[in-house]
Structure 1
């Protein structure tokens, strides 16, 4: 993914990053050739084009749009992602008779699809309602048999990476059948009956099949963590009447629950609303940036700007991962794209493998809290809370600065403590050369400007996407028709994971809303707040991290916002503060042991122990675990208050972050003794807290430490005295 070229043309000499924008092929993804490649490429292009047209030119009914959005992702997903490990070259594949069984499973799947067409014909002819026995035996049972059978077969069938087993075709047909039935019923007067005893039984059959397909695709693209959590929540629906205490509730029937869970109360609710509009639009935007090689330029620009500083590649990682991560939308995905370049270079200048991986994981995670895009988190927050997007993006500025300042000084102090060097002038691109192509930042600038000029998010995202193609025409990587089609294909492929995750999170949100467990959790927090608000916040932090473990940022925040945020609002915390609180902890779950996806991805590249890397990344991202508590005690951090308050809190909190970093790394202007670290930590907390008197105390401590350190260490050679 990266190459160093020492003999480039004058315009391109010492280009460090080459291939950052390449499409990363996940271990579970098929790689087709020939007709299959053309088929799925055409399907991906059609899928992204459908969204662009529907969002900008020809809008369609909301539920119809969201059902097609999820259905398309399921069909593409089962075609492109395997349900079992691939059979490598020379390795024995699964027996052929399994394909025979899969071929038999295709018959009931096709039969269910044909029955939907016949139901449509009947209702078009004036039939008001389909006979329940027909819906059950002619549609529901064949659909469930085919779905369950094909899922189980897909676990057992192992084929080479370029092969498409028949079981996957069965799952694609099942997705089409379930979605077609839901489209038929939700575009009829029967839509109003969902959640009642009068709801057609077929809706429940289609919802059960659709839920199973969503869970299976989520397992393939995001692992088991989210699937297990969703399964626990769904089990709670039917186990609730038997549970004691605040978890108990009267219960829901199978028909009543599943007739509602695939509506805007669940799967088609806020998470899919965001994934079908903002998220997929920004994935397409990111795909256009990749196709025009802007990612390579971002990373090279970061090398030119920060590469020569001590521990240069680590600081490059911070800048590059922040830029790429806010667009990428997934911490682990960003680690894979930028970390494959920065982690080896960090090791080259002296960082241990563990530190290199931890720095990349923490920086990539920070991209999720980086305005203006925040890995799509800002748009989900706007959708859930009703707070304008621009207000959320502005509120995120100071916390993002604090987070990246923390990582920067952690890196800087570690580099000083270990006597590390930066990269030499000959090892990095020339800034003057890269400055000539600064126009490649134009799509990002246009996006931000359009949003703050009052354009809708969809219109601003579309303008930015179009500008990425136009700007490429004056760059070395011009996008012609073939490159644009490639970008559309890449957008369709990249969107599968996040759409599956959002749909799965929708199942959880549906359970929370339909069972009322969120309200009971709110009452629990209210009870804790009666004892101590800090205790209630600490408990909310633990739940947010626990819900987010092993989950991509989008799903982690969506679930935490449904469970935890209402409880925080119930104890008197402002909605913006409450949602930023749970959002931050949902994000940093990616670097929180024991299940830290971003840290595990970084460990895979660095070659170090995964758990050790997650502990190290937790330490580097420590500020992100402290700052959210300050949202409550000092709302000025979220731009709530006068400009004088905001400026004071911003400056003193940044100073506190510097002291916190020095405390963790045991280095300030020189080595820091144990008693100094204790004093530093107290001073850091005083300034991060944000009160006027605590700020003054923190500043006094900081000044005293600076004077003490300068007096004792100014005349010494820092690298020679580097000790831990």
Structure 2
């Protein structure tokens, strides 16, 4: 049932005392339910550790580079130490209800002895190697290092699952895990900076590497469980089980198998955990997290959302359109779909409900818009950096190629929202309810850091140099705003960056474990042969199968991990059937991203449902419908590479324009509204026209345009345009 919108006269007569809605708190640090909040000495300790961790990366990336493997080992170890200190493995108790039981502390204290002993052995082994020894005695590696390390790691992980503690309390079991992380990193630094590094993956590799890798892998999996949930951990466990079950598996999955020593001596190298995903997290991702932390400290997020309110708030269904623009802007500095939902959705979802959107639609719109932030150039979340690392294609080319698909996605969401607002007769927000554009335009200089970033990238600066310049400019620009960054604010931003980086580093390291399994077992090549067989029947069938696998691998996983795994499993197979590398990787990247709004496991939709109060599954189905274009456009990458800026400019312009019209028709088909209500048979014709226009061929474009014009004329003749104007 629709309601009559407020007339302009009613709007003008609105109470002048209405306070405008001004976004605030968008940049506030979100504290996860399982994250500790320290006080006193522990607050200072972890604050200093986080600042030191961030400064280490800035110095190593810009001033004093260190050896690659050593840098990545320290990068992961620092995240593990900070992560186990800040995130609990169990639940918190309410204040006054007691802390961890005494027996847990006694067992943890006992486990601290073998963990400390393993760390002491690392120091002794370093002295032995520095004295000219070629390798460590196997008995020392196995019984004085490996056995106590594995005992402490497994025991402390299991122990950390059970006791409940106060939010400000640091469990002794987590201290044991921090010591184990230091012991793993210390041993690997000693061995990988010696000639023994060349023995990895062979029968001559020291067994100590395998013990360190087993302990390190368990620590990574446990931290991933704490910061990203069980989905990625379960998938990793399945891949690890595959390593040793290969000889018993049937068909194309079967392979001879690998021994424990050979696999784990190689998985903690650049063939796996220290490979492409960690290469990206230790350079580009950590740098842009620091950039995001500086933007948050200068309250740029609040400004982005207020700017979106001022620009789109008065349009019909205003808060929904604000959600689209705000999430796109925030997506440039926020690398996760669910995080984007939480930061902007807490403001936009209640406002959408206020102007007439059902709770389900409000949550779905926010989830779809926030997911689009992951494909929004120039930053595009972390996936674009991993794509550049894997393919060797310059990041700037990837950002340019993403432009038309991003426009199509946001156009789709925008017109879905607009047509629903027209169909339901929704109003926009009143002038008195939104921030004044004239005031906000005076602070447009807050966009300067992002403009500097884009300019530096396209002037040929490296991503690291461009990101560093943009970060520095964020601090400088803040001095022109009410939120000036002094020494204390800069230290707070550095500490925030160290904390914010934990989740993405754990996820990238865990994804690296999966990538290592794929590389060392050859399962990727067998998957490629399967796709080749399907392509012999139909390339469309092969693409559909690749889509399903990409979404399946991405369900419940952050975008970065989802794309990294899909890029290792699916993309090589697509390239083998003749698809260009850029097209193949964009194909799997898009489906890895939209897995966040694909039922039954849709992280972004679930986060939005938590705010809107609607059913999580219903919200995910609705967000899938709103983001429908993202499930169609990737297929057009194959049939019309001009969508990725491949080809001459006239062709790119034609394909981009007709595809945009096709997206509008697709939105009208889903919402059953164009310039008025659309009948069932018209929706079918409209869908055919939309697909013809999105396809990108000259003949199909002409056919689609003919259908669009015909429907437009038909609706105008029947008075649909008048009804649309009245509804708007």
TM-score, normalised to structure 2, is 0.97
Cα 1:715–1:503 change in 2 (3 A) is closer
2:15 matched to which residue of 1? Answer: none
After TM superposition, the structure 1 stretch with the greater mean CA deviation from structure 2, 530-539 or 160-169, is: 160-169
SS in 2 for 1:436: helix
2:291 matches 1:285: yes
Give the Cα–Cα distance (whole angstroms) in 2 for the partners of residues 257 and 376 of structure 1. Answer: 28
2:3 matched to which residue of 1? Answer: none
2:70 matched to which residue of 1? Answer: 64
Give the Cα–Cα distance (whole angstroms) in 1 for the partners of residues 93 and 685 of structure 2. Answer: 58
2:487 matches 1:481: yes
Give the Cα–Cα distance (whole angstroms) in 2 for the partners of residues 486 and 258 of structure 1. Answer: 39
After TM superposition, the structure 1 stretch with the greater mean CA deviation from structure 2, 344-353 or 262-271, is: 344-353
1:560 matched to which residue of 2? Answer: 566
Contact 2:100 2:171 (C-alpha < 8 Å) held by counterparts: no
2:341 matches 1:335: yes
Which residue, out of 362, 366, 375, partners 2:381? 375
2:649 matches 1:649: no
Contact 1:94 1:156 (C-alpha < 8 Å) held by counterparts: no
1:229 matched to which residue of 2? Answer: 235
Give the Cα–Cα distance (whole angstroms) in 2 for the partners of residues 108 and 124 of structure 1. Answer: 24
2:105 matched to which residue of 1? Answer: 99
1:5 matched to which residue of 2? Answer: none
2:599 matches 1:608: no
Residue 100 of structure 1: CA displacement? 1.0
Give the Cα–Cα distance (whole angstroms) in 1 for the partners of residues 194 and 727 of structure 2. Answer: 77
Deviations 1:283-320 (A, max 9, x none): 00000000000000000000000000001111011011
Give the Cα–Cα distance (whole angstroms) in 1 for the partners of residues 251 and 186 of structure 2. Answer: 41
1:440 matched to which residue of 2? Answer: 446
Contact 1:326 1:369 (C-alpha < 8 Å) held by counterparts: no
2:476 matched to which residue of 1? Answer: 470
1:28 matched to which residue of 2? Answer: 34
Give the Cα–Cα distance (whole angstroms) in 2 for the partners of residues 151 and 299 of structure 1. Answer: 41
2:23 matched to which residue of 1? Answer: 17
Contact 1:419 1:719 (C-alpha < 8 Å) held by counterparts: no
Which residue, out of 305, 321, 324, partners 1:318? 324
2:302 matches 1:296: yes
Give the Cα–Cα distance (whole angstroms) in 2 for the partners of residues 298 and 718 of structure 1. Answer: 31
Give the Cα–Cα distance (whole angstroms) in 1 for the partners of residues 25 and 705 of structure 2. Answer: 46
2:630 matches 1:624: yes
Which residue, out of 694, 705, 708, partners 1:699? 705
Which residue, out of 551, 555, 572, partners 1:545? 551
2:589 matched to which residue of 1? Answer: 583
Residue 90 of structure 1: CA displacement? 4.8
1:7 matched to which residue of 2? Answer: none
Aligned Cα RMSD in Å? 1.1
Alignment map for 1:187-586 (pairs within 5 Å) = 187-586=193-592
Give the Cα–Cα distance (whole angstroms) in 2 for the partners of residues 720 and 389 of structure 1. Answer: 47
Residue 376 of structure 1: CA displacement? 2.1
Give the Cα–Cα distance (whole angstroms) in 2 for the partners of residues 514 and 416 of structure 1. Answer: 55
Residue 721 of structure 1: CA displacement? 8.0
SS in 2 for 1:316: helix
2:12 matched to which residue of 1? Answer: none
Residue 160 of structure 1: CA displacement? 1.2
Give the Cα–Cα distance (whole angstroms) in 2 for the partners of residues 721 and 575 of structure 1. Answer: 47
Contact 2:692 2:703 (C-alpha < 8 Å) held by counterparts: yes
Residue 528 of structure 1: CA displacement? 0.1
Contact 1:132 1:201 (C-alpha < 8 Å) held by counterparts: yes
2:52 matched to which residue of 1? Answer: 46
Give the Cα–Cα distance (whole angstroms) in 2 for the partners of residues 583 and 717 of structure 1. Answer: 41
Deviations 1:517-569 (A, max 9, x none): 00000000000000000000000000000001111111110100000000000
Contact 2:98 2:166 (C-alpha < 8 Å) held by counterparts: no
2:153 matched to which residue of 1? Answer: 147
2:9 matched to which residue of 1? Answer: none
Give the Cα–Cα distance (whole angstroms) in 1 for the partners of residues 184 and 236 of structure 2. Answer: 20
Which residue, out of 686, 689, 703, partners 1:683? 689
Residue 714 of structure 1: CA displacement? 4.2
* Structure 1 alignment gaps of length 5 or more: 1-12
Q: Runs (4+) of structure 1 moved beyond 3 Å? A: 89-94, 714-722
SS in 2 for 1:328: coil
Contact 1:225 1:550 (C-alpha < 8 Å) held by counterparts: yes
1:10 matched to which residue of 2? Answer: none
Cα 1:369–1:721 change in 2 (3 A) is closer
* Structure 2 alignment gaps of length 5 or more: 1-18
Contact 2:21 2:433 (C-alpha < 8 Å) held by counterparts: no
Residue 125 of structure 1: CA displacement? 1.4
Deviations 1:657-705 (A, max 9, x none): 0000000111111111111110110000000000000000000000011
Contact 1:419 1:718 (C-alpha < 8 Å) held by counterparts: no
2:179 matches 1:173: yes
Give the Cα–Cα distance (whole angstroms) in 1 for the partners of residues 637 and 663 of structure 2. Answer: 15
How many residue pairs are counted as aligned between the two chains? Answer: 710
2:16 matched to which residue of 1? Answer: none
Contact 1:361 1:599 (C-alpha < 8 Å) held by counterparts: yes
SS in 2 for 1:207: helix
